Amino acid sequence: MTLAFSSSLGNGFGVKLNPGVVWGIPPFLLLIALLTLWNNPVTRAYFDGDYWKAVGKFGESLRLAHARYVDDEKAEYEALVDTALDGMISSLDRHSSYYPPPRYEEFQNDTKLQYFGIGVVIRKVELGILIARVFPSGPAEVAGVRPGDFVAKVENTSVTNLTLSQVSDLIKGEEGTTVLVVLRDVVGDTREVEVTRGRIQMSSVGDVSVDSNGTGFLRLEQFTARTGDELRAALADLEKDGVKRLILDLRDNSGGLLSAAVDVASQFLEEGKLVVSIKGRNNHPERSYHSRPKGPLRSYPLVILINEGSASASEIVAGALGVSGRARLVGEKSYGKGSVQTVFGLEDESGLRLTTAMYYLPDGSTIHESGIIPHVSVPCDEEMEGKLRIQRFQDAFSDSEGFEKLFGFAPVRDRQFQIGLSLFSSKSLKEIQAQVEVLETLEIAP
């Protein structure tokens, strides 16, 4: 018997037993191999009778379903195993998932904020499928696609009755292939554009601006491996433009990489400040993450906008900077995701995403299932939130009248942003919260 070991994404060792191949392994090598298996919490299962009992039960059920189920196509081994793994992992908690090979590749691309397509953002509005944004220097811009165009057809398929997801799937494809898109302008004139699909690398930094008073605004879309560097570059540009204070918008940012959250928080904290700590199974302390600025320390006043869509890495940043007193938080209670997921790649290029730890803010508190309460609460109903999400692309259109014609509503006032601005004044948090409550009373008055 020989033992072969293979590792995958920090998963430790997988074991392949090849019976009847080679006997006579030196005892000390066999002992080392067995100790290696025992010391790894994953492969230790090979010494557990309950593990083999469970494997036997699963194998027997798999063989029976494959051999006896009435629909042989549904009972293919791969389909049965994928379904079983999906049910097993998703039953653990809502953040744990199994990804079969195609979905695992999509998941990896999502975490990198990349895909293969033409580089546009589309929205479904009353007049059709609107090109709301065209990425600078992307394939679509090179081919002449403009914000404000409508998608009429993709190849020979009309998009009239299709969902956004279906239209997106038609536009995306393999790198280097071409797609013919029929575009329509607001008055009904059409034109054909042939676009060569490419690798679209989206920035995690969204809108960036600074006003005449030196107040900067920056929105982070997600936390990826590039977020820290992209933020450093954006802040450097703002500083060249004379930024004196900053509003960091983390609304609807669903999170991402823990390392990116630590990097972002570090840019506003002194060296060595605790950002977050994580604890694993049985509340066992695993690691604490401290700030390690990779560039100049940004010490200007900071306001962070959060809402119920701010989760995970967003909550780490908002929580660390809020608890430390480095930033004031404005908006709504955050999502409340205080768990850490680890992704494990499997040999067939599928993957598991498992909750492996919980994280804790610098003051020892956890926001899991409870969220972060902002210093100043500014409610925003679902309808208004939807309008504000669409309005992020307003700069691509010439005027408010044109915007209303395309989207069906006039530009609305972002109250959370406005209250964020007022936090840079000399007013106390109590005074500003009272101001918010007065405004709410006026808005609901008959």
Degrees, nearest 5: CA angle 412-416-417: 80
Per the structure block, which two tokens stand in for 159? 């998009």
Q: Is the pTM of the predicted complex or chain greater than 0.85?
A: no
pLDDT tens digits, 261-290? 999 999 999 999 999 999 988 777 779 999
Of 199, 276, 267, 262, which is closest to residue 238 (Cα–Cα)? 267
Of 231, 280, 286, 278, which is closest to residue 253 (Cα–Cα)? 231
pLDDT score of 37 more than 90: no
Co-location of 220 and 314 in the same domain: yes
- Evaluate whether 322 touches 329 at the Cβ level (below 8 Å): yes
The pLDDT of residue 40 is 77
Burial class from Cβ neighbours inside 10 Å (0-12, 13-18, 19+) for residue 247 reads buried
The reply to whether 104 falls in a domain is no
Three-state SS at 158 = strand
Co-location of 135 and 171 in the same domain: yes
The pLDDT of residue 372 is 97
* CATH number of residue 253's parent domain: 3.90.226.10
Q: What is the DSSP letter of 223?
A: B
The reply to whether 102 falls in a domain is no
Of 156, 184, 201, the last residue of a domain is: 201
The reply to whether 385 falls in a domain is yes
Co-location of 221 and 195 in the same domain: no
pLDDT tens digits, 55-84? 999 999 999 999 999 999 999 999 999 999
Co-location of 215 and 191 in the same domain: no
pLDDT score of 153 more than 90: yes
The reply to whether 250 falls in a domain is yes
* CATH number of residue 130's parent domain: 2.30.42.10
Of 279, 267, 306, 249, which is closest to residue 365 (Cα–Cα)? 279
The pLDDT of residue 288 is 95
Co-location of 174 and 57 in the same domain: no
Q: What is the domain range of residue 32?
A: 2-91
Co-location of 193 and 222 in the same domain: no
Co-location of 407 and 268 in the same domain: yes
pLDDT score of 260 more than 70: yes
Per-residue confidence at 6, pLDDT binned at 50, 70, 90? very low
Q: Which residues contact 145 (CB under 8 A, 6 or more apart)?
A: 118, 120, 131, 134, 181, 183, 193, 195
Of 354, 341, 352, 355, which is closest to residue 101 (Cα–Cα)? 352
Q: Which residues contact 442 (CB under 8 A, 6 or more apart)?
A: none
pLDDT score of 246 more than 90: yes
The pLDDT of residue 13 is 40
Count of domains forming the chain: 3
The reply to whether 445 falls in a domain is no
- Evaluate whether 181 touches 154 at the Cβ level (below 8 Å): yes
Mean pLDDT, residues 23-46: 75
Rounded Cα–Cα distance for residues 361 and 110 (Å): 27
Co-location of 55 and 23 in the same domain: yes
- Of 27-31, 136-140, 424-428, where does mean pLDDT reach its minimum? 27-31
Co-location of 83 and 222 in the same domain: no
Of 179, 201, 223, the last residue of a domain is: 201
Q: Mean of the per-residue pLDDT values for the chain?
A: 86
Of 144, 172, 201, the last residue of a domain is: 201
Mean pLDDT, residues 306-311: 96
The reply to whether 226 falls in a domain is yes
The reply to whether 103 falls in a domain is no
The pLDDT of residue 102 is 83
Burial 127-159 (b: 16+ CB within 10 A, else e): ebbbbbbbbeebbbbebebebbbbbbbbeeeeb
Co-location of 321 and 309 in the same domain: yes
pLDDT score of 395 more than 70: no
The reply to whether 98 falls in a domain is no
Co-location of 210 and 188 in the same domain: no
Of 248, 368, 241, which is closest to residue 302 (Cα–Cα)? 248
Co-location of 246 and 366 in the same domain: yes
pLDDT score of 216 more than 50: yes
Rounded Cα–Cα distance for residues 429 and 161 (Å): 49
pLDDT score of 107 more than 60: yes
